[in-house]
Structure 1
Amino acid sequence: MPKRGVLLVLKPLDVYPPIPAAQHLPNLAPSSSSPSPPFSALNPKIVSFLNDRLKVHKDTINLCQDVLRCKFVDWEPVICNNLCHPIRHVDLVITIGGDGTVLQASHFLDDSIPVLGVNSDPTQIKEVNELSNEFDAARSTGYLCAASAQNFEQVLDNILESYIQPSEISRLSIIVNGHPFPTYALNDILIAHPCPAMVSRFSFRISGYNGPRSSLSNTRSSGLRVSTAAGSTAAILSGGGSRMPISSRDLQYMVREPISPGPAEAPLMHGFVKPDQSIFVEWYSQEGVVYIDGCHVTQSLKFGDKIKISAKAPVLKLYLPQDLVRDHNPKSYRWPSVL
């Protein structure tokens, strides 16, 4: 049997600024000639918490690498921020970090290579409860991550033995002035002015390939967000949107903070787009940006640009967490223990 090729995509270790050990914190006396120190430098619990997050992430990387050394695979690590070319010639991509690392890796993948996300630093509910009155002790959500340090070897063995198969997750495509953007969004896109305090002016309508077009909505707002099913639990849900089944091929859109929409337009500020439909946007501000899956990938806009958004994009083959697999296709669910 030929060896499997694996690309290990790692969340950077420098996601937090250098933090001194709590016992080495300087004696920071107030001084009129020096700025106030950062809050984290004054609270040893926060310092300890952030240092522990970094340690847990490093330990997970080391554990996964040790497991891979014992398997019949060839593997190579790369920091996700260093990805710059489409990923080719491997059988599996494993991301170690959180959902953000999965998102970054997805921008370099078509529909031929499956992805396994490893949550390197899961949130500990007990820790959150104990520290909730002092600071936010949430760690990584890992909604799209099927593994953690505790079960990585079992999940990997199930993949190598073909006991489990990846799910096909919808992405969305963006075409600006007739030119397709080379990156597909796994979670969502936000079209907005680069300054969040500025008003975004644009018009949009929904149009099907064979069906009627919706009426044109002319809006002044904080921008337009469009999400996939996978992204429906993220920003659009926080803004008042709806959670969608992970298997849905629909898109969901929401106009953010519309300014005084009329009675006829108010119901159009939030809705869904079928797989055979597209959203057509005309941008009428001097500046604009399309933010793809956060802020790592962007596309600048200018007055008069035309944007087409649709689900006509290659799916991402992603190994989903067990609970999402059951919801996605319970009849085909298989997750046996590997001894």
Structure 2
Amino acid sequence: MARRRVLLFLKPFDVYPPRPYVGAAASSPTSAPSSLPQPRAANPKVLSYLDDRCRVHKDTIDLCQSVLQRKSLDWIAVQRNHLCQPIRDVDLVVAVGGDGTLLRASHFLDDSVPILGVNSDPTCTKEVEELSDEFDARRSTGYLCAATAGNFEQILDVTLDGSRRPLELSRISVKLNGIQLPTYALNDILVSHPCPASVSRFSFRKRNNTGENSRLINCRSSGLRVSTAAGSTAAMLSAGGFTMPLSSRELQYMIREPISPMDADKAMLHDVLKQEQHMHVVWYNQEGAVYVDGSHVVHSIQHGDSLEISSGAPTLKVVLPEHLLKMGPEW
């Protein structure tokens, strides 16, 4: 029997802020200005917190590598910033970091390779409570991550032997002027002006596969957000949206901060796109952008460009955490 092949997809360490400069003392009023950067004040607890985040993340990577080394597996590790080609010829991707790392890995995957997320630095409730009056000590949420350092080997084993099966999650397809964009969104997309203080001008309508159209909605707003079921608990929920069952193939969309909408349009400003529908958007600013799953993947758009947004993308096989599985497929 052929050995199973695993890709270990790693969050890098350079995402954590560097320590403040603590070099030579500041120049006296009579001395010449120094060319060295001046020291920045820093809370020692913040520095200790950042150091601990790096340590915990590294320890989790070391543990995952040690577990893989003991198994009868062929595996390689790659930092997420070093990957630029689709992931092929592996049986499983293990993303070590948090939801952001899992999202980045998903952009290189089709519907044939499952992914297992490992939350390498989970939030500690006690730490957050103790430091809440000084700074935000929350760590990684890991909403879609099925494993942590504490149970990685167990979750890996049941995934590889097939007793823990991944769930197929919907993704978002975007076509720009009829051309398919190469990245499918697992969480959401944001269509907006690149400057958050600028008004986004566009129109949209929903279209069925049968050719039926909704009325045209003309918008001046802060942009358009479209989310999958998996992404409905993220920015969409924070903006006032609703949580969707993870198994849903529908998309949820919301016009952000609409300016003086017509009464007849209001029901269409926050709604769902059914599986057999797509949204046709025409952009009317001189410049704009389509942000895919955050800020790392951006596609520029300009006046007159059209977008076709739908759930017609390959699904993604994700090994989900136990608490999401217990909610049932219709949650």
Give TM-score scaled by structure 1 length: 0.92
Equivalent positions of 1:128-207 (< 5 A) are 128-207=128-207
Aligned pairs (5 A) from 1:101-112: 101-112=101-112
Asked if the contact 1:201–1:220 (Cα under 8 Å) also holds between the matched residues in 2, the reply is yes
CA 1:268 to 1:329, structure 2 compared with 1: closer, same or farther past 3 Å?
Answer: closer
Secondary structure of the structure 1 residue equivalent to 2:263: coil
Does the 8 Å CA contact 1:247/1:328 hold for their aligned counterparts?
Answer: no
Tell me how far 1:205 sits from its aligned partner: 0.9
Relative to structure 1, is the Cα distance of residues 280 and 59 closer, same or farther in structure 2, using a 3 angstrom cutoff?
A: same
- Against the structure 1 CA distance between its residues 219 and 28, is the aligned structure 2 distance closer, same or farther, given a 3 Å change threshold? farther
State the SS of the aligned residue for 1:63: helix
In the TM superposition, what are the counterparts of 1:1-339 in structure 2 within 5 Å?
A: 1-19=1-19, 25=22, 37-38=39-40, 41-210=41-210, 212-329=212-329
Q: 3-state SS of the aligned residue for 2:258?
A: coil
Distance 2:130 2:189 in 1: 35
Q: Any idea what the Cα deviations from partners look like across 1:258-294, whole Å, max 9, x if unmatched?
A: 1111211122211111000001100000001000000
Which residue identity does 1:173 align to in structure 2?
S
CA contact (8 A) 2:95 2:102 kept: yes
Preserved contact between residue 6 and residue 74 of structure 1 (Cα < 8 Å): yes
How far apart, CA to CA, are the structure 1 residues paired with 2:176 and 2:97?
A: 32
Question: Matched residue of 1:42: which SS?
Answer: coil
From the superposition, tell whether residues 228 and 31 of structure 1 become closer, same or farther in structure 2 (CA, over 3 Å). farther
Judging changes above 3 Å, is the alpha-carbon distance between structure 1 residues 69 and 284 closer, same or farther for their aligned structure 2 residues?
A: same
How far does residue 328 in structure 1 lie from its aligned partner after superposition? 3.6
The alignment-based identity, stated in percent, is: 61
Task: After TM superposition, give the deviation of residue 211 of structure 1 in Å.
Answer: 6.6
Shift of 1:210: 2.2
Aligned 8 A contact 2:246 2:329 in 1: no
Q: Aligned letter for 1:74? A: D
Do the aligned partners of 1:30 and 1:36 also contact (CA within 8 Å) in 2? no
Q: Distance in 1 between matches of 2:25 and 2:264?
A: 59
Give distance in 1, aligned partners of 2:46 and 2:218.
46
The answer to whether the 8 Å contact 2:97/2:119 transfers is yes
| Cα distance in 1 between the residues matched to 2:118 and 2:258 | 38
> Could you say what secondary structure the match of 1:116 adopts?
strand
- Aligned with 2:68: secondary structure? helix
User: For the Cα contact (< 8 Å) 1:206–1:279, is it kept in 2?
Assistant: yes
Secondary structure of 2:189 counterpart: strand
Deviation at 1:89, TM superposition (A): 0.5
| Count of residue pairs brought into register by the alignment | 325
Q: Is contact 2:202–2:284 with CA below 8 Å preserved after alignment?
A: yes
Contact 1:191 1:223 in 2 (8 A): yes
Is contact 1:8-1:95 (8 Å) kept?
yes
1:10-61 residue CA offsets vs partner (Å, 9 max, x unmatched): 00111123226xxx955866988688754xx420000100110011000000
Contact 2:87 2:108 in 1 (8 A): yes
**Could you tell me whether the CA contact under 8 Å between 1:99 and 1:144 is conserved in 2?**
yes
**C-alpha distance in 1, partners of 2:130/2:322?**
28
Is the Cα contact below 8 Å between 2:289 and 2:298 reproduced in 1?
Answer: yes
Task: State the AA in 2 paired with 1:250.
Answer: E
Displaced runs of 4+ in structure 1, greater than 3 A? 24-38
Unaligned 5+ runs, structure 1: 331-339
Structural RMSD (CA) = 1.8
Shift of 1:214: 1.5
Q: Structure 1's 31 and 15: CA in aligned 2 closer, same or farther, altered over 3 A?
A: farther
Q: Which runs of 5+ in 2 are unaligned?
A: none
Pick closer, same or farther for the CA change 1:49–1:85 going to 2, 3 Å.
Answer: same
When structure 1 is superposed on structure 2, of 129-138 and 25-34 the one drifting more is 25-34
Q: Mean alpha-carbon deviation: is it higher for 260-269 or for 124-133?
A: 260-269
Other structure's SS at 1:207 match? strand
